[in-house]
């Protein structure tokens, strides 16, 4: 409490007192609130730093500006791409583009992040050495519109395992052609497509005699040679497979009713 005299006219004095308790209490509350705010901000900064460190340790991270120019990368990005930080900063992600994905793929990606939405997908990139690697990618637009953060995880081993399994299920190991299962699948697609095609089944005359007289190793080499000759004779869009033994299947496609027949005549002539 504050007390003091207040001079008045005609030799009179009036005593005035003011209670400062409420003001001190309010100031104390403000100070406490400021301290709590500072402590909360410190905790948030520490949490953000921890999360950033954890993300850097686990993921491949790159930050770009609104134009897609790389402004920062972490060590994992450099490790998997083979490029140094200095080589990546100032570039766009075209520096690691593999050519595997078509224009529609990237059109969807850019359209999604351009409207402020998060994009997620698996991308095949090309390292500086030329080898391909696959990354499960999430691209997050910044809330202030300043750019994008791309968070990736290496899934190359999984993709390679998928590819090996696909080959086991669909490729003839001796000739490298489509196997019977794959040929049946391709034939079904050609039928559903509704466009004209011709199916040719070919075999090797007296192949059993070759196997019996020269042995299975010679028979295998003959099958491989025939497969190579057939591969060299077909045109883009045609399908070739081995049904088993000495039987091969050829699916000849055409744009018009006579195209498939013409392709067959040219194939036989070759």
For the chain, which residues make up each domain, given as ranges?
59-160, 171-269
CA 239 to CA 231: how far, in whole Å? 9
pTM strictly above 0.85: no
Q: In 10 A of CB 145, how many CB atoms?
A: 9
Residue 49 is predicted with a pLDDT of 58
What's the CATH superfamily of 171-269? Reverse transcriptase/Diguanylate cyclase domain (3.30.70.270)
CA 73 to CA 85: how far, in whole Å? 7
Residue 65 is predicted with a pLDDT of 96
Q: Residue 257 has what DSSP assignment? A: T
Residues with Cβ within 8 Å of 190's Cβ and at least 6 positions away in sequence, in order, are 197, 239, 251, 253
Backbone angles phi, psi at 199, to 5 degrees: -110, 125
pLDDT at 4 over 70: no
pLDDT in tens, 83-135: 999 999 999 999 999 999 999 999 999 999 999 999 999 999 999 999 999 99
Q: How far apart are the first and last CA of the chain?
A: 113
Class level of CATH domain 59-160: alpha beta
pLDDT at 52 over 70: no
At 98 the three-state DSSP class reads: coil
pLDDT in tens, 132-179: 999 999 999 999 999 999 999 999 999 999 999 999 999 999 999 999
pLDDT at 227 over 80: yes
Residue 233 is predicted with a pLDDT of 86
At 174 the three-state DSSP class reads: coil
CA 258 to CA 51: how far, in whole Å? 64
% of residues, the chain, pLDDT over 90 = 61
Count each helix (H run) and each strand (E run) in the chain, helices first: 9, 10
Averaged pLDDT of the chain:
84
Residues with Cβ within 8 Å of 24's Cβ and at least 6 positions away in sequence, in order, are none
pLDDT at 260 over 80: no
Q: Between 229 and 261, where is the model more confident? A: 229
CA 181 to CA 243: how far, in whole Å? 8
CA 75 to CA 55: how far, in whole Å? 11
% of residues, the chain, pLDDT over 70 = 76
């Amino acid at each position: 409490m504050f007390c003091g005299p207040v001079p008045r006219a005609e030799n009179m004095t009036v005593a005035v007192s003011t209670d400062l308790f409420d003001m001190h209490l309010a100031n104390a509350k403000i100070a406490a609130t400021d301290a709590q705010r500072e402590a909360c901000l410190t905790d948030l900064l520490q949490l953000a730093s921890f999360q950033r460190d954890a993300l850097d340790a686990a993921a491949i991270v790159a930050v770009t500006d609104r134009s897609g120019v790389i402004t920062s990368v972490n060590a994992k990005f450099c490790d998997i791409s083979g490029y140094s930080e200095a080589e990546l900063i100032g570039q766009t992600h075209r520096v690691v583009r593999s050519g595997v994905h078509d224009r529609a793929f990237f059109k969807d990606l850019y359209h999604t992040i351009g409207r402020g939405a998060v994009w997620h997908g698996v991308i095949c990139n090309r390292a500086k050495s030329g080898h391909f690697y696959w990354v499960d990618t999430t691209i997050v637009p910044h809330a202030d519109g300043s750019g994008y953060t791309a968070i990736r995880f290496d899934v190359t081993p999984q993709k390679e395992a998928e590819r090996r399994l696909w080959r086991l299920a669909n490729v003839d190991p001796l000739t490298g052609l489509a196997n019977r299962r794959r040929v049946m699948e391709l034939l079904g697609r050609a039928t559903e497509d509704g466009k004209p095609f011709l199916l040719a089944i070919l075999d090797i005359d007296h192949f059993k005699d070759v196997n019996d007289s020269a042995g299975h190793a010679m028979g295998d080499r003959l099958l491989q040679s025939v497969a190579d000759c057939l591969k060299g004779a077909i045109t883009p869009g045609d399908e070739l497979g081995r049904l088993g033994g000495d039987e091969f299947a050829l699916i000849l496609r055409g744009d018009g009713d006579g195209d498939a027949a013409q392709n067959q005549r040219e194939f036989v002539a070759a």
